[in-house]
Amino acid sequence: MPIFDQGYQHWSGKLSGHTWRWLTITRHGIRAGSKNRILRTALIAAWLPAIALVSVLCLWGLVERRSAMVASFLQFLTFIFPAISTDPHRYRLDVWRLAYSYFLRTELFCSMLLVLLVGPSLISQDLRFNALPLYFSRPLRRIDYFFGKLGIIVAFLGMVMIVPAIVAYILGLLFSLDITIIPDTIGILISSVAYGLIISVSAGLLVLAMSALSRNSRYVALAWVGIWFVSGIVSTVLLNVDSQQRRYAYYHQITMRPPEYNPDMTRQERTQQMQQWRRQREKVTTAYRLEELEFSKNDWRPLVSYVANLSRLGQQLLHTNDTWVDLSQLQSDPLQRDLMLATYMGPQFPWYWSALVLIGLGGLSICILNLSIKSLDRLK
């Protein structure tokens, strides 16, 4: 039987620097997460909005070229919006903005779900099984450990937000076959990638901080659901309670009875009277919605919702409100124009309020992570 020397064996391989050591933790986490069937199903489902985004951008590229493949759609567009069908290049930026806006809004929900599936167990299981001393017995710093765990969340969220946005942009360029589309829409791509990174880093830091506070990943998952859903419910309740008085005054006007039937009136006079009554109702509805829109410019209640803060930043990055203002000009009736703005424009409170809230949550998360792992980092 051979006898081997079990003393110290010198490492003769190549040592990597500290810069990329966190990548090993990220790769291992991605491989482990890819074995989860529920997570794989959620990733596939999260790509469905990306298919819709690609379809819209490719369809619009064919519309700009007036391709025979979309002749029937062009006829429909001419009937609904003649101005757009006449000069589709004029509304290129608006269409791309709205397509990316709805895509990112849907992916925001998917990203919260993915964080729920991936994040709670990243640190809590290491605490539960006392695996942190094994990590730090290697030439690994705390910041490498944090970046490695954060990289797992960023990688999975990037698969459903950043990668589809880039792929859709490339396909949109190919179907457009117009070089001017690059300077017109490159800002949308940059904003979409930046928004995806903001969501990934913010949600990643927050769920890692919660995961570092408990050894039970189920408690962490419940806490994440609370931040995701409960904060949104509380924000909605606060908004509804505040607007109750204005809503009551609105319903008091909108439920006014139609004019009584007068047998002495001709049919034409009766029709004009009903049209005036409906017109008055539309004015009241528009005035109420515009009042709510104006009030939202200084309303702090949406800040209670974590998702609402993320949505406000996305709205600012993509400039979707500017798009709705531009599209409202298609309405010849000023009342319909105001009603469109009041219906589709998003919250108006300053975007930097949401940015400060997210920065504060990120700073608090970093402090929690630092304090929770500091006592276990014994190797200097």
Please report which confidence band the pLDDT of residue 83 belongs to, taking 50, 70 and 90 as the band edges.
confident
Tokens of 85: 């069908």
* Interval 166-189: pLDDT, tens: 999 999 988 887 888 899 899 999
- Confidence band (pLDDT; 50, 70, 90) for 76? confident
Range with the lowest mean pLDDT among 73-77, 155-159, 174-178, 268-272? 268-272
Distance CA 106, CA 104 (A): 5
Measured CA to CA, the distance from residue 182 to residue 348 in angstroms comes to: 29
Backbone φ and ψ of 30, nearest 5°: -65, -40
Provide the 10 A C-beta neighbour count for residue 123.
28
Instruction: State the pLDDT at residue 151.
Output: 94
Residue 9, pLDDT score: 57
Q: Is residue 130 classed exposed, middle or buried when 0-12, 13-18 and 19+ CB atoms within 10 A define those classes?
A: exposed
Neighbours of 98 (CB within 10 A): 18
CA distances (Å), origin 15, targets 23, 132, 139, 378: 14, 22, 10, 22
Q: Where are the domains of the chain?
A: 18-242+299-374
The C-alpha atoms of residue 333 and residue 60 are separated, in whole angstroms, by: 27
Check residues 264 and 151 and name the one with the higher pLDDT. 151
Give the closest residue to 306 by CA, choosing from 241, 212, 221, 233. 233
Residue of 25 and 194 predicted with greater confidence = 194
Residue with tokens 């599209």: 327
3-state secondary structure of 131: coil
Residues 6 or more apart whose CB falls under 8 angstroms from that of 294 comprise 348
The predicted-structure confidence for 239-298, as pLDDT tens digits, reads as follows 777 777 666 666 665 555 566 666 667 777 777 777 777 777 777 777 777 777 777 778
Question: Which among 293, 310, 301, 300 has a CA at the least distance from the CA of 347?
Answer: 293
pLDDT at 134 over 80: no
pLDDT in tens, 287-346: 777 777 777 778 788 889 999 999 999 999 999 988 888 888 887 777 777 777 777 887
Chain segment 349-370, per-residue pLDDT in tens = 889 999 999 999 999 999 998 8
| Contact between 314 and 101 (Cβ < 8 Å) | yes
Mean pLDDT of the chain: 83
pLDDT tens column, 185-236: 999 999 999 999 999 999 999 999 999 998 888 999 999 998 888 888 888 8
- Asked if 122 and 369 count as a contact pair (C-beta separation under 8 A), the reply is no
Provide the percentage of residues in the chain whose pLDDT is more than 70.
87
What pLDDT, on the 0 to 100 scale, is given for residue 380? 43
pLDDT band at 61 (very low <50, low <70, confident <90, very high): confident
3-state secondary structure 270-327: HHHHHHHHHHHHHHHHHHHHHHHHHHHHHCCHHHHCHHHHHHHHHHHHHCHHHHHHHH
C-alpha 40: how far from chain center: 20
Tokens of 98: 């709205």
- The answer to whether 136 and 358 have CB atoms below 8 angstroms apart is no
- The winner for highest mean pLDDT among 26-40, 132-146, 251-265 is 26-40
Radius of gyration from C-alpha coordinates of the chain: 27
